[in-house]
Structure 1
Amino acid sequence: MAYNQMLQSTIEGVKSIARTDLCLMDTEGNVIAATNEEAQQYKESVLTFVDSPAEIQVVQGYQYFKILDGTTVEYVMLIRGDSDDIYTIGKLVAFQIQNLLSAYKEKYDKENFIKNVLLDNMLLVDIYNKAKKLHIDAEERRLVFVIETNRQRDNHAMEVVKSLFTGRHGDYITAVDEENIILVKGLDPKETYDEMQTLAKTIVDLLNTEAMINARIAYGTIVHNIKDISRSYNEAKMALDVGKIFYDEKSVIAYNKLGIGRLIYQLPIPLCKMFIDEIFPGTTPDEFDEETLLTIRKFFDNSLNVSETARQLYIHRNTLVYRLDKVNKATGLDLRVFEDAITFEIALMVVRYMHYMENKIY
């Protein structure tokens, strides 16, 4: 659709200069772009011209030009007038459209190729052969970003991201599903993860200000061969999921910074249930009231420091001790003891993961 709009804009621009009507049809006589409403009446003559050996002919006051894709006729262009000047204009326009067609097909082929590599849909030998044919460097350093916008097929978000990378060689922006935008970023030899973190934050800020979208971005690890971008893509997808479960306050999540969240995410659900039943028989650590859970989270944030936690919660130290004793009675874990605190924190994360997976399934 965007390509057809570009063709329509092109011939309208030519009409404003040459002051004559133009029309572009495919090989089945369908109008692709036109500056007048009479184009459909020339369908039969266009079909006859497509099957003829002639490259140019004049019919009913229009000059017909074939536009080729390699050796195959892709379009027929009609331009009103039979003078030499109109012929020259027609040749120039046909040449321009043929170049646009080649450029568009190359771009489409590259995007389609990147999608197939991301989804691991190609054999290794085909990846290298196709990359060579499309002039894509197979050995370039790359990293994959997954940008979640929470809006299905948000074209405005896609355009905002593309605007940030226009003209950058080696960067590819595409989509493989209805929800996420994928950026395959080509890296300079000295670019690091710190710079990728800064770039991700820039994209989030841009989407927030330009498209009014609260986006989340995850990225995988740097790979050095095009065959491995599928691995970086899968890492980014995992990081996005892990971020939703354990780090929902973050808008940028790096696969190499997931910590224990990555480990828990890869545990089978039956093993998680066994762990919770073993540590908390008959209950779960998330069944406490919100006040108690807030107290526990703040206590952990302050490295098990009772005085500092009480100060930040604006409660008496004895009140905090009472709440911690209540947790101890319910679970058998004394959160003032480092080992018990770690057990409780991991249990909270495991329960969060189990709830997420259950909601994802249903």
Structure 2
Amino acid sequence: MGENIVLNYELCKRILNRLTPIFNKDVNIIGTDGVIITSSNKKREGTYHEGARICASSNRNIVITKKNQHMYRGSKSGVNMPITYNNRVIGVIGITGTAEEVIPYGPLVKELVEMIINEMDSRIAKASKTNSRKEFFKDIIQDTDVKDMDYYISRAKLLEIDLEIPRRMIFLKILDSNQLDYQKIEILFRDIFNNEILNINNEKLVLLNSCNNVDEMIKKLLFELESNLDEKIKYYFIIGEECKSLVDYHNVYSSMSVIDSIIPKDTTEKVIYMRDYEIRLLINGLSTESKKVYLSKYINVFSEKNKATKELLRTIKVYFTNNMKISDTAKSMYMHRNTVMYRLNKFKDLYGLDLSQPYECAKLYLGILIYEDDLIKMNKDN
């Protein structure tokens, strides 16, 4: 609004709704052209008020009585006062009634109206700045070639954005979502997330978290979702790396978008860390031919005919991610350590691979990830 503020119907209606519970007199809000924009007396809306036009043009109060009423076309008894904003008359507030009744209230009503306009302008200015900040961050995370650093740095300074502050990027993805889901969640998060919330084409929310304790923040966000969303709505968070420089924003966003594309649709995980997908990001960059050549070494292991293989492979994955420690693997899988040992020995008997050897285990783990990546892509294509 700023210097070009105009009294449109919506703004005037909001002002009137604040005033009418306080005063039991008819109140009119009138444009500088003398046309009543809104009134507590609906019949007067859109009609001409000569007294208000003179009030606006002369920037002085006009008191209308029964004696002088004939001099002001379309006017009734009452007081009319100019509404000023930034030392400029932008409209007129009129109170209908006898001079004795309304003149004492005049200064108070004028002060209230101007206070409401300033308050609304402040909110709109704040909202405008918030939207500008959002557009800035959307641009730097989606710009595929951030070369004009000076341009972005200048924009950041104008918006009072400190790019020296590290911000951790967080994705929120809703499965089978609609626009309302993201809009509702964005509103829901505003009260507890005092950082940037970016709605990316109603396909995901990107949160830029500048506080240190990201795990605590995620707990709060999860609680809000569980408390306010239908339990049938499935979603997950992806926790990215910190963005410490301008170019980091696009790089982290791109990596997280790839991770998002390879997460299975049927995942039950609510919080996924980018660091746990670093090898998957590497795999995603391999050619189809390279993957095929690598998996050919383990053609028997990934045969669909072997029904026991899936459970064995899952055990091997957990075993490897637990630093090849049998006790930790058993704890993670809620089973006895002897069961883990039995499965690893069975795998050795079936395929001749000794998974107590770190190199053999690492190679097979990589093969499992490549195999799963292909399955995920096949399922998404279907």
Q: State whether TM-score is above 0.5.
A: yes
**RMSD value, Cα:** 4.9
Letter in 1 for 2:155: K
Letter in 1 for 2:153: Y
Superposition pairs of residues 259-274 of structure 1, within 5 angstroms: 259-274=278-293
- Could you report, residue by residue, the CA deviation over 1:111-154 in whole angstroms, capped at 9, with x for unpaired residues? 33333333325843333333333333332232222222333232
Q: Does 1:297 align with 2:297?
A: no
Alpha-carbon separation, structure 2, partners of 1:6 and 1:13: 11
Superposition pairs of residues 154-233 of structure 1, within 5 angstroms: 154=181, 155-165=183-193, 168=194, 171-187=195-211, 191=212, 195-212=213-230, 214-225=234-245, 228-233=248-253
Match of 1:137 among 137, 140, 162: 162
Partner of 2:6: none
Q: Does 1:13 align with 2:18?
A: yes
Q: Does 1:119 align with 2:139?
A: yes
Q: Secondary structure at the match of 2:242?
A: coil
- Could you report, residue by residue, the CA deviation over 1:13-43 in whole angstroms, capped at 9, with x for unpaired residues? 332123356677999xxx99x6758389418
Alpha-carbon separation, structure 1, partners of 2:60 and 2:192: 43
The alpha carbon displacement at 1:196 in A equals 1.4
Partner of 1:285: 302
The alpha carbon displacement at 1:178 in A equals 0.7
Q: Secondary structure at the match of 2:172?
A: strand
Alpha-carbon separation, structure 1, partners of 2:305 and 2:93: 75
Q: Secondary structure at the match of 1:92?
A: helix
- Could you report, residue by residue, the CA deviation over 1:286-332 in whole angstroms, capped at 9, with x for unpaired residues? 62455431133235535496xx79x7599899898667655x3xxxx
Alpha carbons of structure 1 residues 140 and 284: separation in structure 2 relative to 1, 3 Å: same
Q: Secondary structure at the match of 2:241?
A: coil
Match of 2:46 among 28, 42, 48: 42
The 8 Å contact of residues 83 and 110 in structure 2, kept in 1 or not, is answered as no
The 8 Å contact of residues 141 and 223 in structure 1, kept in 2 or not, is answered as yes
Partner of 1:146: 171
Q: Secondary structure at the match of 2:191?
A: helix
The 8 Å contact of residues 220 and 256 in structure 1, kept in 2 or not, is answered as yes
- Could you report, residue by residue, the CA deviation over 1:257-277 in whole angstroms, capped at 9, with x for unpaired residues? 43422322333444334433x
The 8 Å contact of residues 219 and 239 in structure 1, kept in 2 or not, is answered as no
Q: Does 1:81 align with 2:96?
A: yes
Q: Secondary structure at the match of 1:160?
A: helix
Q: Secondary structure at the match of 1:217?
A: strand
Superposition pairs of residues 269-348 of structure 1, within 5 angstroms: 269-276=288-295, 278-280=296-298, 285=302, 287-288=304-305, 290-302=307-319, 303=324, 312=336, 325=349, 328=351, 334=353, 336=355, 338=357, 339-348=359-368
Alpha carbons of structure 1 residues 137 and 259: separation in structure 2 relative to 1, 3 Å: closer
Alpha carbons of structure 1 residues 291 and 96: separation in structure 2 relative to 1, 3 Å: same
Alpha-carbon separation, structure 1, partners of 2:206 and 2:43: 40
The alpha carbon displacement at 1:78 in A equals 5.8
Alpha-carbon separation, structure 2, partners of 1:12 and 1:114: 32
Partner of 1:250: 269
Q: Does 1:351 align with 2:371?
A: yes
Q: Does 1:128 align with 2:145?
A: no
Instruction: Number of aligned residue pairs: give it.
Output: 333
The 8 Å contact of residues 146 and 217 in structure 1, kept in 2 or not, is answered as yes
Alpha carbons of structure 1 residues 298 and 284: separation in structure 2 relative to 1, 3 Å: closer
Match of 1:106 among 110, 126, 132: 126
- Could you report, residue by residue, the CA deviation over 1:163-206 in whole angstroms, capped at 9, with x for unpaired residues? 213xx4xx22231221322222223xxx3xxx213322332233
**Structure 2: 5+ residue stretches without partners:** 1-8, 63-73
**Structure 1: 5+ residue stretches without partners:** none
Letter in 2 for 1:262: L
Superposition pairs of residues 50-89 of structure 1, within 5 angstroms: 60=75, 80-81=95-96, 83-84=102-103, 85-86=105-106, 88-89=108-109
Alpha carbons of structure 1 residues 335 and 183: separation in structure 2 relative to 1, 3 Å: same
The 8 Å contact of residues 169 and 252 in structure 2, kept in 1 or not, is answered as yes
Letter in 1 for 2:202: E
Letter in 2 for 1:297: R
